[in-house]
Structure 1
Amino acid sequence: MSETAKIPIIDFKTYGLDVENEGSISDEDLEKLGNEMCQALKEIGFCYLNNHGIPDEQVRLALESSKQFFNQTVDEKKKCAKPDDGYFGWIGLERERLNPNRPAGDYKEAYGMIPECGDKHFLRKCHSCIGQKGNISNIRSIFYPALTSKKDTIQGQVRCGEHSDYGTLTLLIQDNIGGLEVKMREGEYEPAPPIPGTIVVNIGDLMQRWTADKLIATKHRVLIPSEVRKKMVDRQSLAFFVNPDEDVTIHCLDNSNKYDPITSRDYLNMRFYEKF
C-alpha cells in the first residue's frame, strides 16, 4: 500500500475483474487484500483501487456518452426526468442539495440508472439482487457544468455539498479535472485527485451502521474552483452506489446492538428524501 494525498492506493490485481478463475486466488492473497482495504476504510473511509480490471477505453466511452446526454437541451432531458417518488432518471441543475446547510442547490446535474447485471454472484449474500428488482444499487452519471462569466452563483454554493454516502459502498470514476475533497479524521479536507487507471472507493452510512462504527463513512465534497481556468471547464464523474437488497435487515455485525435493526429499504428511503 502506498499513499497519494493521504489516501491509500491499493493494488487490486489479485481480485480484479480480469481474474478468470476465482478458485486460483489463494486465501493468503485474499486475506492480505481484505486487510489492506479494511485498514484504509477504518482509518480514512476512502481508498484508491489500482489494477481493477476495467479497461480505460470503456471508461472513456462511458464518460463521452454521458456528456452527450447532458449537452442536450433541458426540454430533451426533461423527457427522462426522475419522478418525484422514484430513484432513477435525470435530476436537473441545482435540484439536489446534499448539504442542507448550504444556501443553494448543488451546481450539478445527474442521471441515475440500474446497472444491467444477470450474474447473481457479482456481489454475494445481502447484495444478490443487484441489477434486478429488489435492489436499488445504481450507476449515477454526474455532470458539473462549466461556470462562465455570465453565470452567477450564490455565495457559499458548491458543486456538491458536504455529505457521506448512504449505502454499503461507492465506486467512483473521476475525469482528469479533479475537485473531490475528503474530510480527514483531524477535521481538515484534503484533495482526492484523479489518478489515471484507478477507482476511488468509499463506504456509506449503512455500512458504518452495519459494522457498529468499526468502518467510517467519511464526508466529502466538490467545491466550485477558485481558479478561473478550472471554472471554465466541465467536470464529470461516474459513481456506482452499492446497496443491500431491500428486504435485508441491517443488524450490527458484532452483536453490540449499538443501532436498532432496520431494513435496507427503510433506511435508504429515509436518507434519500433528505436531499431534495
Structure 2
Amino acid sequence: MAAQQEESLLARCAIPIIDLAHIGTDVCPMKSVLRRIGQQLFTALSAKGLAVLVNHGIADEKLKAVYADLDNFCALPEGCQAQYLRNPVSNHGYVKPGMEQFDTTKKELRHSFNITTLSAATMPAQEDVPEFTKHAVPLAQDLTNLSRVVLQALAYAMGVPPSSLLASHSGMLTPEGRNPSTMRLLYYPPVPPEDVGPCNQNDAVHYTRCGAHADYGTFTLLAQDSEGGLEVKLNGSDKWEKVGHLPGAILVQSGEFLAAWTANVLPALVHRVVVPPGEYARARGRHCVAFFCHPDTDAVLPPLPLRAVATPPPPTFTPHTHLTLHNRLLNAAHHLQKRFRETYA
C-alpha cells in the first residue's frame, strides 16, 4: 500500500506553480514569457502571498552542496565559529541559535549563515570548511539572477518599466554594501528529547524552529529540503497551513516592502517553521536556502499606476507606520535596521 501523502497546500494544489521554461536570461529574457510569468506572479502573490517556481535553472546539486558545507560549519568548535559571527552593520556572518528570536515563548533551534557580499575574505576559511566559498558564491549569483527575472516580471504586471525595478535593486550582493539583499543558509538541528517533558509538562523546554513573522524586503526566494515544517497564513486567513514539498521547486514569498509599496495589494506572507510531529522527524535536521531580495538603501521605488493599487485585499499583517507613506521615499536601510533591532539579541 502506498504511503499516505501529508496534507499540505502543495498536496492540495493550492499554491500556484509557475513554469520558467524558455524564459531566457535575466539580461536578455523572452518578453512574451516574462509578461506571462509576471501576470501569474501578480495573481498568485495578491491572492496567496506565495507561488512556486519550477524550471528555474538552479540545479539541486548546488543546494545539497551548500547544505553539506553548512553542516560542516555547524560541526566546528564554538571558538572557531565565533570568528565568523554576524556583523551587525553588514548583516554578514554566522547567526547561532538564540541570537535571532521571533517567538519569545519558545527556544528557537536555528543555525544560519548570512551572505551579503561574495568576497572570499568574508567566508569561512578553506582550512575550516574547504569548499564553502566555492559552492556558496555560484549559488548566490544564480539566486541574484533569478531575483532579477522576478523583478522584471513583476514590473510588467504592475505597469512600470522593468528597468526601473532593476535600477532600484541594482546593488544586490555587490561589494559596495549599498543593498541589504542576503542569501541565508539555514540548518535546523534535531529537537532535544527534553522538549517532550517526561515528568511534568510545565518543566519541559519547548522548542520551535522559527517563530511567526513576515520577511522584511521585496520578496524572498526559498529552496528547502523535504523535511517539512514550513507553515503559512494565506492572505485573508488566520489558519496555519503546511506548505509541503515539491522536489526542485523554489518558493516566492512577498515581503513587507512589496506590501507597503503596493498598498498591501501584494501582502507580506506571514510564516513560521515548526517542529514536525513524530519521533523520526524530530530527530532529523532541516535545511533550506533563503534569498532575501531588498531594494538599494537609497532607492526610490517608481510610482505605481492607480489600477495596480485600486482595491487592496484584506491585510494579513499590520504595516509598520514608517512604511505606509505610499509613493514617497521608502528607505530600505531604516526599515531593515529597525526590524533587525526587533529580532536580534
- Specify the alignment match of 2:332 in structure 1: 264
The counterpart of 2:231, out of the listed 181, 188, 207, is 181
Aligned residues: 268
Matched residue type, 2:91: Y
Q: Please name the residue that 1:145 is paired with.
A: 189
| 2:280 match: secondary structure | helix
Aligned counterpart in structure 2 of residue 193 of structure 1, from 244, 257, 264: 244
Q: Contact between 1:3 and 1:9, CA under 8 Å: does it hold in 2?
A: no
Aligned CA distance change for structure 1 residues 152 and 72 (closer, same or farther; 3 Å)? farther
Q: 1: CA distance between counterparts of 2:72 and 2:49?
A: 33
Q: Compute the TM-score of the two structures, normalised by the length of structure 1.
A: 0.87
* Partner in structure 1 of residue 70 of structure 2: 66
SS of 1:249's equivalent in the other structure is coil
Decide which structure has the larger Cα Rg and report it: 2
Which segments of 5 or more consecutive residues in structure 2 lack a partner in the other structure? 1-8, 119-139, 149-165, 198-203, 310-322
Percent of aligned pairs with the same amino acid: 28
- The whole-number CA distance in structure 1 between the counterparts of 2:59 and 2:141 is 20
Q: CA RMSD in A?
A: 2.7
Q: Distance in 2 between matches of 1:109 and 1:60?
A: 16
**1:7 aligns to what SS in structure 2?**
coil
1:249 aligns with 2:309: no
CA distance in 1, matches of 2:94, 2:229: 22
Question: Equivalent residue of 1:90, what SS?
Answer: strand
One of 12, 25, 39 as aligned partner of 2:30: 25
Hey, what does 1:79 align to over in structure 2?
83
The 5-angstrom pairing of residues 149-164 of structure 1 reads 149=193, 157-164=207-214
Q: Any conservation in 1 of the 2:10–2:246 contact (CA below 8 Å)?
A: no
Q: Is the 8 A contact 1:207 1:217 kept in 2?
A: yes
1:125 paired residue among 162, 167, 174: 167
Which is further off, 163-172 or 142-151? 142-151
Residues 163-193 of structure 1, C-alpha deviations (whole Å, 9 max, x = no match): 0000011111101211101112321111111
Q: Matches of 2:65 and 2:286 in 1, distance apart?
A: 15
Query: Which letter maps to 1:130?
Result: M
Q: Which amino acid aligns with 2:335?
A: Y
1:224 is the counterpart of 2:275 = yes
